[in-house]
Structure 1
Amino acid sequence: MKNGSDRPQDRLGSAMKAIEHGVDAAVGDLARMIAVDTSFPPGLGYDAFADLMEDLLSPMDFACRRETVPEELWRVEGGPASGARTNLVAERESGKPVCGLYYHVDTVPVAPGWQRDPLCLTVEGDKLYGLGAADMKGTIAATLLALRAASAEGVDFRYDPMLLLCTDEEGGLYPGIRYLAEQKMLKGHILNFNGSAAPRIWAGCFGIFNLQLTIRGHAVHAGEGNRTGVGINAIEGALPVMNALMALKPIVSARASTLAPPPHATGPLRPQLTLSAVQGGTAGGQVPAEIKILVSRRYAPEERYEDARAEIEAAVRQAVAQTSDLGLSIDLVGHLIPTADPDGPHWPRWEKALSDGFGYRPDEFHKWGAASCSDFGYVQKAGFGPEVLLGGLGRPESCIHSPEEHTTRQDIVALAKSILAYLAADFAADLIPEDRYHEGDYPCLR
């Protein structure tokens, strides 16, 4: 039995109040999600997270299915990824147009410096601390809160929600949403929650690729290391490589993109080259035989991936050539291509929903891009879009990808209200593009 009034607007208002009253349940959902380690690399927790989400979604009459990315698409010998790449698709179909709700379920690994247990939600007042709290498990909790409130109050939806809980956004070689897009499994239009709690109109974003450099020497007893031709120290041999990359770094960052920067930026968005991880050596008594260096390169939409990669490889190979007998391999272990301007006919209504949920004024909205990256460039390349809506829980103070990542109860409530409003049939009906345009005007309305 639904608890709602006979009047649609009364039901929507009651559901908004139910969101406020039900936030503790959302906090409980978030605690269960954070307890499942889905950090990438390596990405071993995807099946366990799918188990949890099926448990949470099945009572709301969602039909869940698992779509696993084939191993030959993502595995790199000696690369950082391991385990099944299990994506969960949850649908509740009634014949209405579909709105996809996208989340990446992976987090970055735990960084040194956490003062709280990163895999156990810590509640301190209205702040909610845990790995993935803002990026982006908290957005899943907000969605569940909105869906439960709608069900309890009998809110009629304009769109059938299709939840896309996907893998390997945090630097993977073959993100789950890419696979779903290329297999033509996506429907309708998509709300991407890998964004910020800000009055933002998405203008697109940079791409990123990760190269794993493996430099090989020859291991011997460390006491023999001073004998010429006996041992080849891979770590010492890698120093010219790292120096060459550090020399290239300011050259890369001197370039500028025309992509609109955030309002708080002090200048244009710029490409970046970063030494992200180094692994090598085993013990003080052994000359190290191997070192792996992870190089991350964020590239602007104006740059070609092939050129950016060739520039790095040329610097690395020239540096390795200075030391004889070193072995070298260069492997691509992660790649997200740039996302083009995702504007489209659903944006005005999503802006209205964000305004109602977060309290933004219409004049506060600005269109801007970011040097942060998205897996939705692949979605556009597969022919889905280009429209993609964007929202989320990220704030400058949220410590995303850093120790003490957190979100707040208030932001979860605000995002849940925005989601509920957008899905509801009786919210801003004059802005529903399916009712304003013919199918031929916009492919995303089909």
Structure 2
Amino acid sequence: MSEPSPFKQALYYIEQDQQQMIHDLQQMLELDTCFPPGDGYPAFADLIEPQLHTLGFHTQRIHVPDQLWQTSDTPLAGARVNVIADGMASNLPPCHLYFHVDTVPPGDGWSVPPLTLTEQDGRLYGRGSADMKGTIVAALAALRAIQTFNLPLQFSPSLLLCTDEEGGLYPGIRYLAEQGYLKGHILNFNGGALPRIWGGCFGSIDLIIRIFGHSTHSGEPLGAVNAIEQALPVMNALYSLKHEVEQRISAMPAPPHFKGEPLRSRLTIAAAHGGSKGSTIPAKYELLINRRYAPEESFTAVMAELKQCIDDAMRHSQACRYETEIIGHLAPVNDPTGPNQPRWQAAQSLGFGYAPEQFTCWGSSTSSDMGWVQQAGISEMMLGGLARPDNHIHAADEYTTIADLAALAKSILAYLCADFAPEKGPQ
């Protein structure tokens, strides 16, 4: 019987590399990169760079300037260190592998320690296991197999390990794109372990409205201006605008689980803060609103509409003053498909076992920092990852599985390797 090809041996090698993948995931989960505050990025760079050097990559650290990402009221701290790794087969067309290294904070309700790895009933628990440190682990496994068997490549892989995806004003990938560091198409691993063709996504704006009054003792409110009461017309106006906004339907195909319901624009009053005690008239009230806008809408028009709504509501207010501040903004993504999409579908079919007919195209009213990449001129962006509907991303007891880590690693290996030659067919 003939010896298996190096490509098939590499796929088998990934199956036998489970302990290294688990070790890598454990190290990453124990390193706190929660956003906010986002002060763990330099330590993550210290962790990942030696591994990338061993694999033959050159790395560079790109810092997002402080003035671009800092806001007045959010508890952010630490250097915004983004790592670019390249140099493997640099004579080939480039392919960027994108990851964000930050996670949301653990939150409440965990049954296991959130910032460590817990193996239980076939699951690998920890904050970031699926979103998205586990995807970095899968990519490292694929690259180890490529190096071990000296496989020829179809593309020159460049890893982008980026900051502030989880809600930042100026995500790292935006800065890299706008500064000209990106040259090829992108595999974006902020997606799911699903047979999906990415149809794009909505933009997202986080806007704070601050209303200022005048504080006195509540028992003697002479000259007082209650900031909370003065905010009521704004809240009512935003609630009315919400119903108008949500009549706007995008042409982007909706996910299968929407069961025929279209993708709609959204306006959410997401947070409200004000006051301290019953004996004091509150002098400041703060609202946070989130506006999800479709690719068919423009940022300028959306902001003008919000400003008009707020200005009209406050025109007759007794408030001393009010102000607004954008503390987060992600641009929409519109039709990111391109000529390499069929190859990525075939690679996912090899890794995860999807049948070609299972792939469908849909978009999302959630958001991605890839919108800034598209605005900077990189049009082709494909989606993959570890997210599944039941693995608790952004919630307590987030998990992935070793089977999904191996499947994603095989998909990445197949996509990058020249020996993978799928039959060409319709997208």
Unpaired stretches in structure 2, ≥5 consecutive residues:
none
Matched, 1:103 2:96: no
35, 39, 52: which is aligned to 1:44? 39
Task: State the shift of 1:81 in Å.
Answer: 3.7
Q: Are positions 1:292 and 2:286 aligned together?
A: yes
Structure having the higher helix fraction is: 1
Pair 1:42–1:289, CA change in 2 (3 A): farther
CA distance in 2 between counterparts of 1:248 and 1:40 reads 30
Quote the residue 2:214 is aligned against.
218
Q: What letter corresponds to residue 428 of structure 1 in structure 2?
A: A
Decide which of 58, 62, 85 is 2:57's aligned counterpart: 62
The more displaced of 53-62 and 205-214 is 53-62
Identity of aligned residues (%): 49
1:77 is aligned to 72
- Mapped partners of 2:183, 2:358: distance in 1: 31
Determine if the alignment matches structure 1 residue 338 to structure 2 residue 332: yes
Q: Which amino acid aligns with 1:181?
A: A
Do residues 364 (structure 1) and 358 (structure 2) align?
yes
**Given the alignment, which residue of 202, 208, 220 partners 1:206?**
202
Distance between the aligned counterparts of 2:122 and 2:247, measured in 1?
41
Which among 129, 132, 139 is matched to residue 133 of structure 1? 129
Q: Is the 8 A contact 2:218 2:278 kept in 1?
A: no
* Larger displacement relative to structure 2 (412-421 or 77-86): 77-86
User: Which residue identity is paired with 2:155?
Assistant: Y
Structure 1 Cα separation of the partners of residues 240 and 318 of structure 2: 22
Partner of 1:89: 84
The letter for the 1-side match of 2:340 is: H
Cα deviation code 1:95-151 (max 9, x no counterpart):
222211001122223333333322222221221222222111111111111111222
Give the whole-Å Cα distance in 1 for the aligned partners of 2:31 and 2:211.
34
Per-residue displacement from partner, 1:271-328 (whole Å, max 9, x unpaired)?
1112233344445554433333221111111112222222223333333445413431
Tell me: CA distance 1:218–1:41, structure 2 relative to 1, closer, same or farther (3 Å). farther
TM (normalized to structure 2)? 0.92
8 Å Cα contact 1:320/1:326 also seen in 2: no
**Structure 1 contact 177–379 (Cα < 8 Å) conserved:** yes
Corresponding residue for residue 195 of structure 1: 191
Q: 1:251 to 1:351 in 2, by over 3 A?
A: same
Q: Describe the SS at the equivalent of 2:160.
A: strand
One-letter amino acid of the counterpart of residue 48, structure 2: M
8 Å CA contact 2:103–2:127 kept in 1: the answer is yes
Aligned positions of 1:212-291 closer than 5 A: 212-220=208-216, 224-266=217-259, 267-283=261-277, 286-291=280-285
- Separation in 2 of the partners of 1:409 and 1:415? 10
Runs of 5+ in structure 1 lacking a partner? 1-5, 433-446
Contact persistence 1:261–1:268 (CA under 8 A) = yes
Provide the secondary structure at the position in 1 that maps to 2:136. helix
1:316 equivalenced with 2:310 (yes/no): yes
* 1:38 CA displacement: 2.0
Which residue number in structure 1 is paired with residue 14 of structure 2? 19
Counterpart-to-counterpart distance in 2, 1:282 and 1:65: 47
AA in 2 matched with 1:132: G
When residues 234 and 117 of structure 1 are mapped into structure 2, their CA distance, relative to the original with a 3 A threshold, is farther
Q: Structure 2 vs 1, CA of residues 380 and 244 (structure 1 numbering), >3 Å: closer, same or farther?
A: same
Alpha-carbon spacing, 1:235–1:58, altered in 2? closer, same or farther (3 Å): farther
1:314–1:144 CA distance, 2 compared to 1 (3 A):
same
Q: 1:396 is aligned with what amino acid?
A: P
